[in-house]
């Protein structure tokens, strides 16, 4: 069984696209093979900066022969009909067809048409050009026509002796192909073990397939002729190319650790950087560089960001866990001097970058030269600069400065609820975004928050305020840390709730896989902060405040609304000019800090956002093993906006339904609910509301159910009121036996209409009693 070897050789592929491209190549080619009934034993894709490679093993030599039964005309049909049948079936005479009988249609002709399958080589010659032309690169480019000399190196050995003019005549046409970088060669062979390998011949806009590849760009640039994968992998290894990206990563990591250990240092591991560097080189050579110790006065995160972002190098730490003035770099070639010149060159660049970083650091610690209040602290000056620059947060939601006011207002409300010092929390919220206009964050945006903490500490802010400035961005993912200090919690919640409320206010919600403003992440962040800190925080109030603040800013951002406010104040005697604008701004801020009104649009928007939180909570709890339907059952009850009690209820409900009592009560509930639903469809919703009449209970089973139901319902409601959900479940468990007996002994739809109404009301009370804990109709299974 033949094996396929395919290599698409190009200029350097961006590192961030490589792994996905290898997966896409494997998926597209193997799917196309399967669609053509060419089933294979295994496939593996590889990628280096200059090549995408696919190895498919165990292919059949050809597609299977297909057989098609084609029905023809009845026996004795006109000659024209028979002639048309013979032509369509490819038969020379009617005797070559068989005759079948049908009880209704009589006898008719049937032809069995066999179509031999195409060879795998022919099928691949169609598949691969199609895949290459439609390859899903995130970004691609077009380049000029191929020169005859470029075509020469990609042809087979047989054709390699042709002169460029002959090749140019054979492969004609303009290049219309788009690829991530110019495609320079295509190697495509089909090889049977212990037999001759064949080239799969095809042409893509003048670039022909062949059996030629190339090694390392500098250390082994000559073309290499290969036939099968084993030859190919061995030849590339000799030509200084490590084909497997995972192996390149392992080499980088192991060699870096070993080199650091030899110097008494430890590598600060960076999985993302290892992946990126492995996508930049084909032959990793690990070296060590150094910079002056005085740069270690800069915050360590800045040093790491500088070295990582600009030089793609790894930082090292000493035995005390502090950054060392050494770094690891990875070269793409073996230098004659052992890499000394390469390390020295990288050291010079790192020193220059760190000099810039130190300049940013010192500049940000100093007062702004043109700021009028020289006594103001640096971060306060940056906050004023942020407001003066009018940096837009979103075109429908105003500026960053306005957003800071909303966050500060929300923080004031939340601080009291999470046990934080209100004044310190407000201070942290005020300064939380001030570092956005610092020099350091302008150069390294990923350091926002962190640099705010450093600058806050440097200007004498309380440590809890400084920590909150950094931590208010967390958590930024499912595995990120969650703030635990009350002030950090208050500001982090305010930031995320403002984001959610603001975008809900302008109806910018996530749709499908699209979430450009990371609103799902913000909601999950709120959920994690609340649950992992055990906070009792009903969300309706903060969400109302967040949405109301955004709605106010939207209204005041509209020119006609602002104009009407200004005109109204002018009519009341306020002078024109900056003073009037100040009054309008103060009016907006005062309105934002006032309680949210009872407004229909506000209620509708908040309800929609709570449903979004329910969906995110499902995802969060599902990852922890909880059932999504139980979350629905709890959220369906009115007033469910306290995430912690929702989780408690879900956990208690899950444990209850795992018991025999819980399973049987659920069955009884469903039977009662189904009967009520059917009867309510006839007589209208609410037809059986109200209490039953004890005097009309006739049978012992219905009397027992009524007695137990009264006690169990009252106990369940009382225990839910004091949040003893386990106790509420135990109270409901006492209903199991009387419910079973009721459905065994009692006919609900009795002939006597008064008995029927009374029994339906009793079932309605059963339904209401269970709804004190959860809406059992939402429970699946």
Q: Given a cut of 90, is residue 176 above it in pLDDT?
A: no
> CA-to-CA distance for 434 and 436, rounded, in angstroms?
5
**Going by C-beta distance under 8 Å and a sequence separation of 6 or more, which residues neighbour residue 591?**
552
Quickly tell me which residue has 């320079």 as its tokens: 184
Mean pLDDT of 176-189: 93
What pLDDT band is residue 170 in, cutting at 50, 70 and 90?
very low
pLDDT for position 163: 38
> CA-to-CA distance for 34 and 59, rounded, in angstroms?
10
CATH among 1.10.260, 1.10.8, 3.30.70, 3.30.1760 for 3-61+120-142+177-238: 3.30.70
Report pLDDT digits (tens) over 251-301.
999 999 999 999 999 999 999 999 999 999 999 999 999 999 999 999 999
Contact 719, 708 (CB under 8 A): no
> CA-to-CA distance for 231 and 247, rounded, in angstroms?
19
- Strand 207-210 vs strand 183-191: parallel, antiparallel, or unpaired? parallel
**Residues paired with residue 331 on neighbouring β-strands, in sequence order:** 285
Q: Given a cut of 90, is residue 244 above it in pLDDT?
A: yes
Mean pLDDT of 140-167: 51
pLDDT for position 32: 95
> CA-to-CA distance for 505 and 499, rounded, in angstroms?
10
Q: Helix/strand/coil (H, E, C) string of 100-137?
A: EEECCCEEEEEEEEEECCCEHHHHHHHHHHHHHHCCCC
Q: What angle do CA 705, 709, 714 make, to 5 degrees?
A: 165
Q: Where are the domains of the chain?
A: 3-61+120-142+177-238, 68-115, 245-365, 378-623, 659-778
Report pLDDT digits (tens) over 581-629.
554 454 455 555 555 666 777 889 999 999 999 899 988 888 888 788 8
pLDDT for position 487: 97
Query: For residue 541, which of 549, 533, 529 has the smallest C-alpha distance?
Result: 549
pLDDT for position 147: 53
Question: In whole angstroms, how far apart are CA 66 and each of 58, 59, 113, 329, 561?
Answer: 21, 18, 8, 58, 74
pLDDT for position 157: 39
Which of 557-561, 567-571, 712-716 is modeled with the greatest confidence? 712-716
When mean pLDDT is compared across 227-241, 349-363, 561-575, 655-669, the lowest value belongs to 561-575
Helices 628-635, 643-657: axis angle to 10 degrees equals 120
Note the CATH number of domain 659-778. Answer: 1.10.730.10
Displacement of CA 210 from its chain's centroid (Å): 40
Q: Given a cut of 50, is residue 580 above it in pLDDT?
A: no
Residue by residue, DSSP assigns 398-435 as EEHHHHHHHHHHHHHHHHHHHT--HHHHHHHHHHTTGG
Mean pLDDT of 632-661: 88
Question: In whole angstroms, how far apart are CA 725 and each of 411, 624, 627, 641, 766?
Answer: 31, 20, 17, 16, 18
Residue 395 vs residue 130, higher pLDDT: 130
pLDDT for position 581: 52
Report pLDDT digits (tens) over 336-382.
999 999 999 999 999 999 999 999 999 999 888 777 776 688 899 99
Query: For residue 594, which of 422, 419, 412 has the smallest C-alpha distance?
Result: 412
Classify residue 632 by its DSSP letter: H
pLDDT for position 162: 39
Report pLDDT digits (tens) over 488-527.
999 999 999 999 999 999 999 998 888 999 999 999 999 9
pLDDT for position 165: 35
> CA-to-CA distance for 619 and 653, rounded, in angstroms?
18
When mean pLDDT is compared across 108-122, 466-480, 700-714, the lowest value belongs to 108-122
pLDDT for position 340: 95
Q: Given a cut of 90, is residue 154 above it in pLDDT?
A: no
| Peptide bond before residue 475 is cis, with ω within 30 degrees of 0 | yes
Query: Beta-carbon neighbour count of residue 79 at 10 Å?
Result: 8
What pLDDT band is residue 210 in, cutting at 50, 70 and 90?
very high
**Going by C-beta distance under 8 Å and a sequence separation of 6 or more, which residues neighbour residue 103?**
none
Which of 53-57, 145-149, 726-730 is modeled with the greatest confidence? 53-57
pLDDT for position 598: 63
Report pLDDT digits (tens) over 450-480.
999 999 999 999 999 999 999 999 998 888 9
Q: Given a cut of 80, is residue 562 above it in pLDDT?
A: no
Would you say the C-alpha torsion 77, 83, 85, 90 has a positive or negative sign?
Answer: positive
When mean pLDDT is compared across 31-45, 323-337, 565-579, the lowest value belongs to 565-579
Q: Given a cut of 80, is residue 114 above it in pLDDT?
A: no
Mean pLDDT of 186-190: 95
**Going by C-beta distance under 8 Å and a sequence separation of 6 or more, which residues neighbour residue 691?**
761, 765
pTM of structure = 0.76
Question: In whole angstroms, how far apart are CA 274 and each of 168, 245, 248, 310, 737?
Answer: 43, 10, 9, 15, 63
Helices 559-571, 578-593: axis angle to 10 degrees equals 110
Q: Given a cut of 60, is residue 563 above it in pLDDT?
A: no
The number of residues making up the chain comes to: 781
> CA-to-CA distance for 158 and 746, rounded, in angstroms?
92
Q: Given a cut of 60, is residue 97 above it in pLDDT?
A: yes
Mean pLDDT for all residues in the chain: 87
Would you say the C-alpha torsion 251, 253, 258, 259 has a positive or negative sign?
Answer: positive
Residue 673 vs residue 131, higher pLDDT: 131
> CA-to-CA distance for 598 and 411, rounded, in angstroms?
21
> CA-to-CA distance for 677 and 680, rounded, in angstroms?
5
Q: What angle do CA 640, 644, 649 make, to 5 degrees?
A: 70
Residue 236 vs residue 90, higher pLDDT: 236
Give the whole-number percent of the chain exceeding pLDDT 90: 54
Q: Given a cut of 50, is residue 172 above it in pLDDT?
A: no
Q: Given a cut of 70, is residue 485 above it in pLDDT?
A: yes
């Amino acid at each position: 069984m033949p094996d396929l070897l395919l290599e698409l050789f190009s200029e350097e592929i961006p590192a961030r696209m490589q792994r996905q491209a290898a997966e896409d190549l494997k998926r597209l080619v193997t799917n196309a093979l399967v669609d053509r009934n060419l089933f294979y034993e295994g496939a593996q894709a590889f990628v280096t900066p200059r090549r995408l490679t696919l190895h498919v093993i165990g292919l059949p030599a050809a597609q299977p022969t297909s057989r098609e039964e084609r029905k023809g005309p009845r026996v004795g049909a006109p000659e024209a009909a028979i002639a048309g049948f013979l032509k369509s079936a490819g038969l020379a005479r009617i005797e070559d067809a068989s005759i079948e009988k049908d009880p209704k249609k009589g006898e008719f002709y049937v032809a069995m048409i066999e179509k031999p399958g195409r060879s795998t080589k022919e099928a691949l010659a169609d598949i691969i050009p199609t895949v290459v032309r439609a390859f899903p690169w995130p970004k691609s480019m077009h380049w000029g026509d191929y020169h005859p000399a470029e075509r020469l190196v990609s042809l087979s050995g047989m054709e390699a002796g042709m002169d460029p003019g002959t090749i140019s005549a054979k492969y004609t046409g303009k290049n219309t192909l788009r690829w991530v970088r110019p495609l320079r060669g295509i190697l495509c062979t089909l090889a049977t073990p212990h037999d001759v390998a064949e080239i799969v011949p095809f042409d893509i806009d003048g670039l022909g397939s062949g059996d030629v590849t190339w090694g390392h760009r500098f250390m082994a640039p000559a073309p290499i002729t290969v036939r099968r994968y084993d030859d190919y992998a061995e030849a590339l290894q000799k030509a200084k190319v490590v084909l497997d990206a995972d192996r390149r990563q392992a080499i980088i990591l192991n060699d870096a650790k070993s080199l650091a250990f030899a110097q008494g240092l430890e590598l600060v591991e960076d999985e993302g950087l290892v992946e990126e560097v492995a996508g930049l080189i084909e032959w990793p050579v690990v070296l060590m560089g150094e910079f002056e110790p005085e740069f270690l006065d800069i915050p360590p995160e800045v040093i790491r960001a500088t070295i990582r972002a600009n030089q793609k190098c790894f930082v090292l730490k000493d035995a005390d866990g502090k950054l060392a003035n050494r770094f690891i770099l990875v070269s793409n070639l073996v230098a004659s001097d052992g890499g000394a010149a390469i390390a020295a060159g990288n050291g010079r660049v790192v020193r220059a970058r760190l000099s810039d970083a130190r300049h940013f650091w010192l500049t940000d610690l100093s007062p702004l030269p043109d700021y009028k209040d020289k006594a103001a602290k640096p971060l306060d000056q940056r906050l004023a600069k942020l407001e003066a620059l009018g940096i837009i947060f979103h075109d429908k939601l105003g500026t960053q400065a306005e957003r800071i006011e909303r966050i500060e207002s929300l923080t004031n409300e939340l601080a009291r609820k999470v046990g934080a010092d209100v004044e310190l929390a407000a201070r942290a919220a005020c300064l939380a975004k001030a570092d956005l206009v610092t020099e350091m964050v302008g150069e390294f945006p990923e350091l926002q928050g962190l640099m705010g903490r450093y600058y806050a500490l440097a200007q004498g802010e309380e440590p809890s305020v400084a920590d909150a400035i950094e931590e208010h961005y967390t958590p930024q993912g499912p595995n990120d840390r969650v703030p635990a200090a009350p002030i950090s919690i208050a500001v982090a919640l305010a930031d995320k709730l403002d984001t959610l409320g603001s975008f809900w206010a302008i109806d910018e919600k996530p749709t499908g896989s699209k979430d450009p403003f990371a609103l799902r992440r913000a909601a999950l962040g709120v959920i994690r902060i609340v649950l992992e800190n055990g906070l009792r925080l009903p969300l309706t109030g903060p969400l109302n405040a967040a949405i109301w603040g955004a709605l106010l800013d939207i209204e005041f951002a509209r020119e006609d609304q602002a104009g009407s406010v200004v005109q109204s104040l002018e009519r009341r005697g306020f002078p024109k000019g900056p003073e009037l604008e100040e009054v309008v701004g103060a009016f907006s801020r005062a309105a934002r800090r006032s309680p949210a009104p009872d407004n229909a649009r506000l209620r509708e928007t908040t309800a929609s956002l709570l449903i979004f939180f329910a969906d995110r909570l499902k995802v969060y709890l599902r990852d922890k093993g909880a059932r999504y339907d139980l979350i629905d059952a709890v959220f369906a009850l009115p007033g469910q906006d306290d995430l912690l009690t929702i989780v408690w209820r879900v956990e208690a409900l899950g444990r209850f339904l795992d018991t025999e009592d819980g399973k049987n009560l659920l069955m009884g509930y469903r039977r009662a609910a189904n009967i009520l639903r059917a009867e309510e469809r006839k007589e209208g919703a609410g037809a059986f509301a109200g209490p039953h009449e004890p005097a009309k209970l006739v049978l012992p089973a219905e009397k027992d159910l009524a007695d137990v139901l009264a006690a169990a319902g009252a106990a369940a409601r009382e225990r839910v009121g004091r949040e003893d959900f386990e106790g509420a479940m135990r109270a409901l468990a006492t209903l199991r036996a009387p419910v079973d007996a009721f459905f065994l002994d009692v006919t609900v739809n009795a002939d006597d209409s008064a008995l029927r109404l009374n029994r339906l009301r009793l079932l309605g009370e059963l339904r209401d009693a269970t709804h004190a804990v959860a809406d059992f109709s939402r429970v699946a299974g």
